[in-house]
Chains A and B, each alone.
Chain A
Amino acid sequence: MSVELVDYDEAVSRFDPVIGIEVHVELGTRTKMFDAAPQTFGAEPNTAVTPVSLGLPGALPVVNGTAVEYAIRIGLALNCRIAETCRFARKNYFYPDVPKNFQTSQYDEPIAFDGWIDVELEDGTVFRVDIERAHMEEDAGKNTHVGGSTGRIQGADHSLVDYNRAGIPLVEIVTRPITGAGERAPEVARAYVQTLRDIFRALEVSEARMERGNVRADVNVSLRPTPESPLGTRTETKNVNSFRSVERAVRYEIGRQAAVLDEGRAVTQETRHWHEDTGITTAGRIKSDAEDYRYFPEPDLVPVAPSREWVEAIRAALPELPAERRRRLQGEWGYSDPEMRDVINAGAVELIESTVAAGSSPAAARKWWMGELARTAKTQDVELAELAITPVQIGQLQQLVDAGRINDKLARQVLEGVLAGEGDPEQVVVARGLEVVSDDGPLLEAIDAALAAQPDIAEKIRSGNLGPVGAIIGSVMKATRGQADAGRVRELVLERVQG
């Protein structure tokens, strides 16, 4: 079903968008939420399961204490209150990737609630997002749909299920309705998810790798005529799994819902699916009993009642959060506000920090990452961090420049070599023979050859006309394939001629 969207600018000029975001983050604990099966990414299917994660008859859950601590860390970083006591509940629904046919989650008693977080947009605007709750739950297994006639079940389509992911601890963070963002709602959505991702990493509660599904977002969007109107009917777009998609999905839904409303129809409250390839959302299957989850307190688990001492100890041990850290680094590096913002927007803060740690000056590190490497990333259509070069290698490269072993022009060739997988900068320099020629012998040979080849120019120089020196230097540089230090060549030419 294709829809004629209302142009975005027009949509937000006539409607006030309200968004809400649910972010699931997989916690990077060693074991699962309720059993001691190891967390492994990319393991053979069904090899990271115990009777508990498979939901075998008789198996019982036991809460992973570290997961609770991580959830509290997240709650505190999001300025939430931490429950004095809370419980797990069973959310009952039948689905093949849910081994027990209920998900153990927190329902009316989340571990953390009533928080907020400031998110910074690309132009430096700060927007506050209120957090309703953060609660603990478990992940489901993974279905792979197999189509067609090879299936054993009457030759029909079937699915294959791997339960390695089943039971991995999740924290779900739910915002209150985000109002007042207006036309910037898609940007706010993206910046919010990005801010959470950075916080998860800083807290060391998750690797928070979007591409692995460590962080997944569901975005709710509704429109209303004016900011004073009651909230409109919302849709929930599930599993939007990149920052860019979060922004696009919100944008798409605003345009789509505006079109629906313009036609005088009502927006259907429904779950929608995001299609990364086409950039659209489509309606999910309507399940008649979808809303009747028959929640009740999980009788196999006892309440979690974090003592205030424990909570305060966790608070005291919280690491520096990304926003503070950026302020600190900007000071240390001496970057201007626009420079720092560019670095943040390019996702280069960590890269520059590591590059500086590897021996580069902050200015040089910024020059590499925001210059040559940013261009390369753009050409390759990848994130900076995905380039085949590490901050340590950039640090090594810059050290070679600082030591005078290579010049800027050679450095770019070395960079090319590293990106091409030829090894560390040092190895590339050696393998490609790129080092600046610092031995005068070969230079003098080249100079003599150049002078001999161009006797008229040699004569002019001898007679004190230094204008054509450049031509000799050019010949020498050419002969040494750029590896000569031009300044030194000039000195030697003059010595030779004027001797």
Chain B
Amino acid sequence: MSSLSRDEVARVAGLARIDLSPEEVDRLVGELQVIVDSVARVSEVATPDVPATSHPLPMTNVFRDDVPEQPLSQADALAGAPATEDGKFLVPQILGEE
């Protein structure tokens, strides 16, 4: 199937928001190529007449009643946060925000 270039791995890592060192990218190019070559065989048998299965057991219409439950306390909600301020999660500057 397709072959993975270094640029492609770097692009996908960007899409996945993972900083990689140049060494990591080099290693991943090789490793992912082997894996991709091996898994790509699935398309051999995935012919148009075969339907896709996304759930192991077929189920439909699993709904919840519209009844509120006790939410987390603000303290619990924020307990694991790296930084907070005024009851909110403090996050670094978001580009494009005004």
Contact = CB atoms under 8 A, between A and B. Distances in A.
Question: Are any A and B Cβ atoms less than 8 Å apart in their complex?
Answer: yes
Interface of A: 29-31, 36-39, 44-51, 54, 56, 62-68, 85, 87, 94-96, 143-146, 151-153, 156-163, 273, 284-285, 287-289, 292, 294, 297, 299, 301-306
B67 A96 contact: no
B94 A145 contact: yes
Interface stretch (B20-28, B36-44, B80-88): B80-88
A30 B77 contact: no
Nearest to A47: B74
Contacts of B60: 85, 302-305
B62 A63 contact: yes
B46 interface: no
A160 B68 contact: no
B62 to A, nearest CB: 5
Given A48-B71, A94-B17, A285 B66 contact: no
A40 to B, nearest CB: 9
Contact of A158 (B63, B78, B93): B93
Given A152-B90, A159-B92, A160-B85, 12 more contacts: A30-B66, A31-B68, A39-B68, A47-B74, A50-B69, A51-B72, A64-B66, A66-B65, A152-B83, A158-B92, A159-B94, A299-B54
Interface in B46-72: 54-55, 59-69, 71-72
Contacts of B89: 46, 96, 160-163
Given A51-B72, A94-B17, A160-B86, A29 B66 contact: yes
B92 A156 contact: yes
Contacts of A46: 74, 77-78, 87-89
- In the A-B complex, list the 4 residue pairs whose CB atoms are closest, starting with the nearest: A65-B63, A66-B66, A160-B88, A38-B68
23 contacts: A30-B68, A36-B64, A36-B67, A45-B88, A46-B88, A47-B71, A47-B73, A47-B87, A62-B64, A65-B64, A66-B65, A96-B89, A143-B94, A157-B93, A160-B86, A161-B89, A162-B87, A162-B89, A297-B54, A302-B61, A303-B60, A305-B61, A306-B61
A158 B90 contact: yes
B88 A31 contact: no
Nearest to B63: A65
Contacts of B63: 62-65, 68
B68 A143 contact: no
Contact of A37 (B69, B96, B98): B69
A411 to B, nearest CB: 45
Contact of A50 (B61, B72, B92): B72
Contacts of A292: 15
Nearest to B65: A65
B71 A159 contact: no
A49 B91 CA distance: 18
A184 B57 CA distance: 52
Nearest to B69: A36
A64 to B, nearest CB: 6
Contacts of A153: 83, 90, 92-93
B67 to A, nearest CB: 7
A159 B91 contact: yes
Nearest to A164: B71
A67 B66 contact: yes
A83 to B, nearest CB: 12
Which of B14, B68, B78 has most chain A Cβ within 10 Å?
B68
Given A54-B72, A64-B66, A289-B14, A143 B90 contact: no
A66 B68 CA distance: 12
A47 B63 CA distance: 24
Contacts of B55: 299, 302
A289 B10 CA distance: 13
Which of B60, B66, B73, B85 has most chain A Cβ within 10 Å?
B66
